[in-house]
Chain A
Amino acid sequence: MQNTFEYFLDQLINGVTLGSIYGLIAIGYTLVYGIIGMINFAHGEIFMIGAFVSIITFLTLGIMGITWVPLALVIVLVMSMAVTSVYGWTLERVAYRPLRGSPRLAALITAIGMSIFLQNYVQLLQGARTKPIQPVITGGMELMSSKMPDGGTYVVSLSYLQAIILILTIVLMTVFTIIITRTPLGRAQRACEQDRKMAALLGVNVDRTISLTFVMGAALASVAGTIFLIRYGVIDFFVGFLVGVKAFTAAVLGGIGSLPGAMLGGLLIGIIEAFWSGYFTVEYKDVAAFGILVLVLIFRPTGLLGKPDIEKV
């Protein structure tokens, strides 16, 4: 364990890129929870579908001979966002809207049911085997290097892949923060969160606003799916489960319902996981993330940036 700082930096970069994936998915959990007060347990599967649409698009582009990486990546992102949004929209329209106003438990069980349904649906269509993809983006840049005592050099590098993930995440999160805080759509969403009936009295189409919230969440999750695919190179119909649960953990850690909370929570979970694997053992990295969640919730039941539910109206 020499070159402690370089090693630390390495883990940090890993953690932040991993955290990007969790954060992008966590936003979907948090937006949906904010607006209709339900945990959309099928959101992890929406992410998984995003990853599948991405791999199908990549392979199709390969067959068509479009291999110039920037172009291919843009097409994949757009396709994946578009198709996955349709899934998100349909999910709300078919499974959740009819249950609006019914007990929370009904919606929760439906969400779990939809999660299982979507897993089986993809398994049927795409098979149960893992799907690999060739590395899409290779190479990187050297951030720093130092001599090790045994004469070798330790190089901290940022791969182009990681750089793209970071830039993509920062851009998307900025854009979504602006949408939520500054645009009429975002105001309508927050109005529906706080008082749906009043929002309707002012002329907000509440159903459409809720649909758009699902679409936004799905679009972000699909980008996470693309990132997951190009980073890990393999996916299967089950990837949505664990990643989804961790993104959900991130949303709760940050304070469910809070947009900055979801981003912060995602980042933290990613970093915790990376450091745990880097310094201790890979085996217990999942336990570490959940352990931190439990600890935080004991001291701050509303999560790091969450607000208490009770408000003077």
Chain B
Amino acid sequence: MLEIRGVHTFYGNIEALKGVDLDVHEGEIVTLIGANGAGKSTLLMTVCGSPQAQRGSVTYEDTEITRMATFDIVRLGIAQSPEGRRIFPGMTVLENLQLGAITTNPDFFEDDVAKVFDLFPRLKERSNQRGGTLSGGEQQMLAIGRALMSRPRLLLLDEPSLGLAPLIVKNVFRVIEKINKEGITVFLVEQNAYHALRIAHRGYVMANGKILKSGTGKELLADPSVRAAYLEGG
């Protein structure tokens, strides 16, 4: 579904991605783990063309999207809940969700909102509250919900468990599995390697802008070097 081949991405002179190859197949949960600054968020943003890859190619369902504009890429059915959540602080929960639905047929809106509220009942109670006043966990739910509003076929999630209480983390991972079972392919960036690898079909390990290792979730969980680097105490 998503093919990333030899992708190099730069911020000015800094080479954040140094030739990344990665695949996400339809129906999978694929996770990408790695230390801070490895380039995980950069990879997710490169898929969405912001920034664009300088070299290499990104292909989504046989369409090369490497040089496409961000708003055209996401219209192909890719949605991202980005690093830092990026909720619109001055808008209500409902307006944030409406913005998520900007690329879809307005007729779907009522149903889709109901589905999101079903996944995150908390959001329903807060639907008229401004995004900036939500708690971190609620913002995370809203970011995921907003991404779902576009009816994506590929969902990119950047550290959805960051800063959440353990109980809520569990819930978020449950939701991710549920979303996936309903047919949405998930590409998940996580620091929380243990949880991520447990729910993932396959995983990649990234360091310094390169893919170090890949394998099924089970394989990586069992891999001693992965355990040492990312799972100690996890």
Contacts and interface: CB of A to CB of B under 8 A. Distances in A.
A220 interface: no
A201 interface: yes
Contacts of A188: 99, 102
A198 B88 contact: yes
A203 B91 contact: no
A198 B50 CA distance: 10
B86 A313 contact: yes
B99 A191 contact: yes
B157 interface: no
Nearest to A312: B132
B90 A187 contact: no
Contact of B88 (A195, A200, A203): A195
A205 interface: yes
Interface residues of A, number: 22
A199 B99 contact: yes
B71 A206 contact: yes
B50 A202 contact: no
A313 B132 contact: yes
A285 interface: no
A190 B102 contact: no
Interface residues of B, number: 26
B103 A203 contact: yes
B80 A201 contact: yes
A184 interface: yes
Contacts of B79: 202
A190 B98 CA distance: 12
B109 to A, nearest CB: 11
Given A200-B50, A200-B70, A206-B71, A194 B89 contact: yes
A300 interface: no
Contacts of B175: none
Nearest to A200: B70
Contacts of A193: 90
B74 interface: yes
Given A200-B71, A201-B80, A202-B146, A184 B90 contact: no
Interface string A172-204: 000000000000100110110111011111111
B95 to A, nearest CB: 6
A311 interface: yes
Nearest to B76: A203
B100 interface: yes
A205 B70 CA distance: 8
Interface string B150-172: 10000000000000000000000
Q: Which 6 A-B pairs have the closest CB atoms?
A: A203-B103, A200-B70, A198-B86, A203-B74, A194-B88, A311-B89
